Amino acid sequence: MDRYHFIITVYCLVCDYYQMVKKQFKIRRGGFAPALTDEEVMTIEICGEYFKLNTDQDIFDYFQAHYQADFPQLRDRSLFVRQAANLWQVKAAIHRLLVIHSGQADDPVQAIDTLPVPVCVYTRAPRDRCFKSEADYGYCAAKQMPYYGFKLGLRIARSGMITCYPLLPARPHDIQFLETLVENFSGTVPADKGFIDAARQALLHERQGVTVITPARKNMSEPLPGQLRQLCQRWRKRIETVGSQLTERFAIGRIRVRDIWHFQHRIVRKILAHTIGVFLNLQLARKPLDLDGLLA
């Protein structure tokens, strides 16, 4: 589909799920109704992220220049940005419903990993004042990169749809977040070597029915048969693909805001845009992670 039909498709999808979310909690308690509807604002945000427009300014300018006839009330950038940020809980609820209705929440095999999310370049970290009480120094072994910010935990179904995405402290080792990443889940969890801990894995299996499968280190014997090992390796690569898409297409490592509230909103927005892309691919019987091919 072209961009115009993609925008219409996303708008219809957002409208349907917005009505479901409205039944769960009261979105707006009083005051004047905004010029742009909530559905229009979320559609602009999601499509902007999908089109690789990674700042509020770029999204606003693009839609005002190219789709003013479709969104005639898109006039004031500050009002648009404020309304978008205030809808972060709605976007998080829509993400949960999409995961459930697509059947991906019930996938018995879900891979886990973490992704570094810097809040500023490393050399500016000592001068940071915006995230001084929340952010911390961390190290990404996969990229051999020290950074200052947070970790984004990821749990994905085999289709590539993100089912869980907690924002985590940067300093602790990945194994400290194993219980958080498999919360409310029971099944098989492929993971990388950073999650090797026999005691934790045995406890999770006993209490929660979670089987964590990790590759063996060089000084360990390989307990898995060859075919199962290759299958788990393929599932782990899928979560690496999702991490690459979040980093490159959605620029999740280049979020520049001044407080943790807006930072979390941007995370939710990017995750929802990725999830809608996977959801539409599943509906069209396409490869779920072929985000580029969804647009002509």
Q: How high is the pLDDT of residue 243?
A: 93
Per-residue pLDDT for 121 more than 70?
A: yes
Residue 89, in any domain of the structure:
no
Q: How high is the pLDDT of residue 221?
A: 59
Q: How high is the pLDDT of residue 27?
A: 72
Least Cα distance to 40 among 1, 5, 87 occurs for: 87
Beta-bridge partner residues of 235: none
Q: How far apart are CA 197 and CA 203, in angstroms?
A: 10
Contact partners, residue 269, CB within 8 Å, separation at least 6:
45, 46, 49, 84, 88, 91
Number of domains in the chain: 1
Q: How far apart are CA 265 and CA 84, in angstroms?
A: 9
Report CA Rg, the chain.
Answer: 20
Residue 115, in any domain of the structure:
yes
Residue 97, in any domain of the structure:
no
Per-residue pLDDT for 217 more than 80?
A: no
* Parent domain of 188: 108-256
Residue 4, in any domain of the structure:
no
Residue 142, in any domain of the structure:
yes
pTM value is 0.93
Tokens describing residue 183 = 């919360």
Per-residue pLDDT for 80 more than 80?
A: yes
Rounded to an integer, the average pLDDT of 213-217 is 80
Residue 116, in any domain of the structure:
yes
Q: How far apart are CA 255 and CA 115, in angstroms?
A: 14
Tokens describing residue 295 = 């647009």
Q: How far apart are CA 74 and CA 76, in angstroms?
A: 6
Q: How far apart are CA 20 and CA 230, in angstroms?
A: 41
Q: How high is the pLDDT of residue 29?
A: 62
Q: How far apart are CA 105 and CA 253, in angstroms?
A: 26
Residue 38, in any domain of the structure:
no
Question: pLDDT of 125-141, one tens digit each?
Answer: 888 888 988 999 999 88
CB 266 within 8 A of CB 151: no
Question: pLDDT of 129-188, one tens digit each?
Answer: 889 889 999 998 878 889 999 999 999 999 999 999 999 999 999 999 999 999 999 989
Residue 171, in any domain of the structure:
yes
Using CA of residue 15, residue 87, residue 74, residue 47, what is the dihedral sign?
negative
Question: pLDDT of 40-76, one tens digit each?
Answer: 999 999 999 999 998 999 999 999 999 999 999 999 9
Q: How many CB atoms lie within 10 A of CB 76?
A: 13
Phi, psi angles (nearest 5°) of residue 143: -100, 0
Question: pLDDT of 218-275, one tens digit each?
Answer: 666 556 666 667 777 888 889 999 999 999 999 999 998 888 999 999 999 999 999 9
In the chain, the amino acid numbered 44 is: I
CB 250 within 8 A of CB 54: yes
